[in-house]
Structure 1
Amino acid sequence: MVRCTGFGLIVSPDRHNEVVEWPFAVQGINSTRFERIENLEYSSVIRGEENCVKTAYMIEEDIAIWMIGEVYNRESIWNTIIGEEKNSSDLDVDLLLNLIRLYGTTALRLVNGRFAAVIRFRDRLLLVTDHAGTIPLYFHISKNSIYVATEAKALILGGNLSPGLRKFEDRTFEQNMIETIFKGINRVPIGSIIEINLRTFEMKKEHHWRMPSERLVISEEKACHLLYETLDKAVEFQKGENDSVGVILSGGIDSSAITSLIAPKVTKLYTFSIGTESANEFEYAKLVADRYQTDHHEFLIREEEFLEKLPHVVWAAEVPHAEFIEYLTPVYITYQHARSFTNRILTGYGSDILFGGMLDPHMSIEELDNYIQRDVLSIDGSNEFTHTIGLVHGIWTTHPYWDREFLRITLQLDPRLKNLHGIEKYILRKSFESFLPQRNVWRKKIGVHQSTGTENAFTKWVNENIRGNEPLAVRKNKIIYNLLQTLYVEGANPDEININNSRVLINQ
């Protein structure tokens, strides 16, 4: 289990003891660390288990690092690069420090993982997210101070750094990839380094990961082998040293493939399915659970529970998009029920983006390739993969389909193979044809928000309560926007918000 669940940092001429009070959605207790380096004070709060500071913070000579997450290719980096320089350590923050010393900022190009970090290196402060930005990192720069945190609420409610939300109609923050819905609060784009000069406080952006543009020309058979082997390695990496893990299992090809790969690698595998009386995938999930003899659990939820959890999901996800909140709500509830069984869960999330699973299988190859590239970039700022949704319940989540190496291979794959014969995600299905029940391999894709009843419940509620001529999607987004306003501007507690409260329905 990752012991550190979040952190915040203020860099300024003066010490800031109040950083210990910064709020986080994720589980844990706040610990503080104060360092004076040259002429600046580094006041930090580290969220997580008691005594977790040593796993999240390290300083050695002119390098200091604050980090949350894990490095998946740790062993190969230690053995191949650092092993001759220093005895092996099980701390990823130590690994990152040694890489920075050897490679400077280009060290991040070597790292495959799920992490966010702040690195003081010489006269620079580096703000870093992994290749897919799966752990958000927010920041604010003033005249003589820098504020950073893994959750925007720490800066907004703890640091009093945002005067409110941008206007609902102002979507410019979605184009520049740095600004957020919160005024004055920025975020580090996916696969990027925000470099801040500690003398002038000037900022510039660099990339340590870019989406590949070239494509592989290989046969269907070789493509299947390559996908299977690369995903299997990603699952092995993301299992970590755990002998007991969980998988969210819908019975679709994405989660079923992950289940088939992880089952032989652990002594205890839990699988979890969620649904309502009117919409669920229990039948298909059970086929895979029975085949791999998992400890399977079905969670039957009232449709009203999805609405009741909306404020909590918005509080954790910190985004204004109803589309993503609808995806994340059933996942949030699943983690809530699964926490009594395991503290690490692998998901099948993100496969649809890479294989065009939600696109028209009959579109042209050119359209498909362009749409997939667009959809990959669209995750920037969506917080679809955010760690907070799981760590609110004490669960560390991983997403093998967005492992850096698997992501590279999948994006380079001939797009023709992804929708061959008019079958969406054809090559992924073909890769696991021999390892899963045929009903699971070839069943048509259904989104988690649809298969669990979340979308229907939210749509019904919006149509009954928010009348008008605006499109349904706009009305849904306004509800999420007003929830953000209630939580982050008015300072309400998500436990105290009733979705039918007038504060959520204002200005409709």
Structure 2
Amino acid sequence: MCGIVAAVGEVDVELCRAMLARIKHRGPDDTGEIHRGEVWLGHQRLSIMDVEGGAQPIANSDRDTYLVANGEIYNHRHIRRDLGHELFETGSDSEAALHALIVDGPVGLARLRGMFALAFMNDDGEFLVARDSLGVKPLYWVRRDEVTLFASELRAFAPADRPLVESFPPGHCWTPSGGLVRFADAVPARVRPARRADVPGEWDEALLKSVREVVVTAVENRMMSDVGIGVFLSGGLDSAIVAAAAASYAERTRQPLPTFAVGAPGSADLEAARVVADFLGTEHHEIVMTPATAAEALPKAVRAIEHYDPSLVRSAVPNLLLAEYAAKRVHAVLTGEGADELFAGYSYFHAEPFTDPDALQAELVRTVTELHHLNLQRCDRTTMAYGMEARVPFLDRDVIELALSIPPEHKMIRPGVPEKQLLREAFAGWLPEDILMRGKEQFGDGSGAKDVLADAVRSMPELAAREGVTLRDRQESVFYAVWHDELAGIRPGATLGMFATT
């Protein structure tokens, strides 16, 4: 929902303000800052919850403790009840994080359920920075002897600092006195799938019900918004399930549900999304992507995602076009990110060596843990480029725990059983049958972006790779040239995988 910048040590206020200005697109509604002693906090606000009263930095009643946050705390109402409503002065979900830290110190981070990157300070000199366990919301830092700097995006940092930029690790908090401490794992340690060698021909109804209910609850928890919310609908299984659950909630609460789809003329994604929208009765919008609009969006997409990997860029271009259009109508959208990693949706999951259940389980855990390097950053950057927040219900902590506790045998393909069959059957009746059985396509392929971009880059300049960088073809060299112009000074691979090409 926002962009944050923080500094502790020898604070250069003008440097910090310049950093904040570089990420104004993340929060076009308001700008706030606070400077106390050796700490500076800055905030660019995208107003979603408590539009009138939720400005940041948010403070306690004594005005001696402050917090800036990017993200959403979905259980903020429960935290209010637990800590006492009398402590709270706004309806902002971020205020729940503030009081959890005031009451419990760093241990209070365990109360928070949601996606967040935050910085906390008080007049006694305490300072803390933290990032959610999956890294859904981005956070980067630079550690110098005299000062430590934090920001939501790489571009925030001055060119002189860019060679020092690192990704702040998910599930960790940092204080000047205690250093870096893990407070949560992406995949809870207690998740241990109950192995079953004999997988039945039909799914147990109790399992299907559990999967359906946990996903629906995650979607409903992410429908909170004071300014409207929509769904990115690709027409694939995952986003269609999210749209179905959101449509059910919107009907019960009597609120509109816009859905947004993008693709080349006649693309499979546009056609499938139209079928889903008609079935659910949503307020559907289509963005038709042409070679001209793709070529125009390409440099913006590379700059937005701060990456040049071809598969990532191919999905980022339609995502950016989608975000540009949708941001004029809603401030937040739901997406289907994470379902393939939890329910074995990618084709390589069903080839050697992952035909072994233990190997498959290990690979699912690995991909979930590493989502913050690529897909989640693409999802965040393309939406926040236009001041819009993306929410990812499949990556709710309860969904992760349930999905990864299911025996991996249940996720394997076999004759008559395609990938993600468990998920398909859990939502039987919620969607048209042809959508439930639609095969997996990469977003860049289903939307037609792959072919459209192949035409668009033919006349664009490319750049030879620097030392330590491998470029696989001319298209990647073109993407790399755009990236290099925007983020010169960043060392590929320096941000824990953010720039690794795979």
- TM-score per shorter chain, which class? 0.7 to 0.9
**1:240 & 1:44 partners in 2: Cα distance?**
25
Equivalent in the alignment of 2:185: 209
Provide closer, same or farther for how the CA distance between residues 446 and 134 of structure 1 changes in structure 2, counting only shifts above 3 A: same
SS in 1 for 2:366: helix
Provide closer, same or farther for how the CA distance between residues 473 and 373 of structure 1 changes in structure 2, counting only shifts above 3 A: farther
RMSD, aligned α-carbons: 3.1
Kept after mapping to 1: 8 A contact 2:115/2:132: yes
Which residue among 9, 12, 35 is the counterpart of 1:12?
A: 9
Moved more, 26-35 or 100-109: 26-35
**1:14 & 1:490 partners in 2: Cα distance?**
23
Which residue among 384, 390, 394 is the counterpart of 2:376?
A: 384
Map of 1:5-84 to 2, 5 A cutoff? 5-14=2-11, 16-22=13-19, 23-24=22-23, 25-28=25-28, 31-37=31-37, 40-42=38-40, 44-48=42-46, 54-58=55-59, 63-79=65-81, 81-83=82-84
Map of 1:273-288 to 2, 5 A cutoff? 273-277=261-265, 279-288=267-276
Does residue 1:258 correspond to 2:248, yes or no?
no
Structure 1 residues without counterparts, runs of 5 or longer: 163-182, 492-508
Moved more, 90-99 or 129-138: 90-99
Provide closer, same or farther for how the CA distance between residues 45 and 104 of structure 1 changes in structure 2, counting only shifts above 3 A: closer
Equivalent in the alignment of 1:502: none
Provide closer, same or farther for how the CA distance between residues 141 and 347 of structure 1 changes in structure 2, counting only shifts above 3 A: same
**2:102 & 2:179 partners in 1: Cα distance?**
22
Map of 1:309-348 to 2, 5 A cutoff? 309-348=297-336
**1:434 & 1:225 partners in 2: Cα distance?**
13
Q: Tell me the TM-score normalised to structure 2 length.
A: 0.82
Kept after mapping to 2: 8 A contact 1:56/1:66: yes
**1:8 & 1:321 partners in 2: Cα distance?**
27
Provide closer, same or farther for how the CA distance between residues 346 and 294 of structure 1 changes in structure 2, counting only shifts above 3 A: same
**2:55 & 2:235 partners in 1: Cα distance?**
40
Map of 1:168-179 to 2, 5 A cutoff? none
Kept after mapping to 2: 8 A contact 1:277/1:300: yes
Equivalent in the alignment of 2:135: 133
- Please report how far the alpha carbon of residue 313 of structure 1 lies from its aligned counterpart in structure 2 after TM superposition: 1.5
Kept after mapping to 1: 8 A contact 2:295/2:457: no
**1:130 & 1:448 partners in 2: Cα distance?**
26
Equivalent in the alignment of 2:401: 408
Which residue among 148, 151, 171 is the counterpart of 2:150?
A: 148
SS in 2 for 1:17: helix
Does residue 1:372 correspond to 2:364, yes or no?
yes
Does residue 1:450 correspond to 2:445, yes or no?
yes
Q: Identity of counterpart residues, as a percentage?
A: 22
Provide closer, same or farther for how the CA distance between residues 194 and 365 of structure 1 changes in structure 2, counting only shifts above 3 A: same
Kept after mapping to 1: 8 A contact 2:45/2:55: no
Equivalent in the alignment of 2:340: 352
Count of residues in Structure 1 that have an aligned counterpart in Structure 2:
458
SS in 1 for 2:262: strand
**2:227 & 2:244 partners in 1: Cα distance?**
15
Once the two structures are superposed, residues 57-81 of structure 1 have per-residue CA deviations (whole angstroms, 9 ceiling, x without a partner) of 33567743221221011122222x2
Does residue 1:188 correspond to 2:168, yes or no?
yes
Provide closer, same or farther for how the CA distance between residues 55 and 467 of structure 1 changes in structure 2, counting only shifts above 3 A: closer
Provide closer, same or farther for how the CA distance between residues 27 and 15 of structure 1 changes in structure 2, counting only shifts above 3 A: closer
Counterpart of 1:264, as a letter, is S
**1:31 & 1:283 partners in 2: Cα distance?**
41
Kept after mapping to 2: 8 A contact 1:193/1:208: no
- Please report how far the alpha carbon of residue 17 of structure 1 lies from its aligned counterpart in structure 2 after TM superposition: 3.3
**1:472 & 1:141 partners in 2: Cα distance?**
30
- Please report how far the alpha carbon of residue 257 of structure 1 lies from its aligned counterpart in structure 2 after TM superposition: 0.8
Structure 2 residues without counterparts, runs of 5 or longer: 197-202, 491-502
- Please report how far the alpha carbon of residue 449 of structure 1 lies from its aligned counterpart in structure 2 after TM superposition: 0.7
**1:88 & 1:33 partners in 2: Cα distance?**
19
**1:471 & 1:490 partners in 2: Cα distance?**
17
Q: Tell me the TM-score normalised to structure 1 length.
A: 0.81
Once the two structures are superposed, residues 300-340 of structure 1 have per-residue CA deviations (whole angstroms, 9 ceiling, x without a partner) of 11034223212212222223433222222211111112233
Which residue among 383, 387, 397 is the counterpart of 2:390?
A: 397
Provide closer, same or farther for how the CA distance between residues 237 and 98 of structure 1 changes in structure 2, counting only shifts above 3 A: same
- Please report how far the alpha carbon of residue 263 of structure 1 lies from its aligned counterpart in structure 2 after TM superposition: 0.8
Provide closer, same or farther for how the CA distance between residues 18 and 481 of structure 1 changes in structure 2, counting only shifts above 3 A: same
Kept after mapping to 1: 8 A contact 2:171/2:185: yes
Which residue among 229, 233, 238 is the counterpart of 2:222?
A: 238
Provide closer, same or farther for how the CA distance between residues 285 and 475 of structure 1 changes in structure 2, counting only shifts above 3 A: same
Kept after mapping to 1: 8 A contact 2:41/2:68: no
Kept after mapping to 2: 8 A contact 1:220/1:417: no
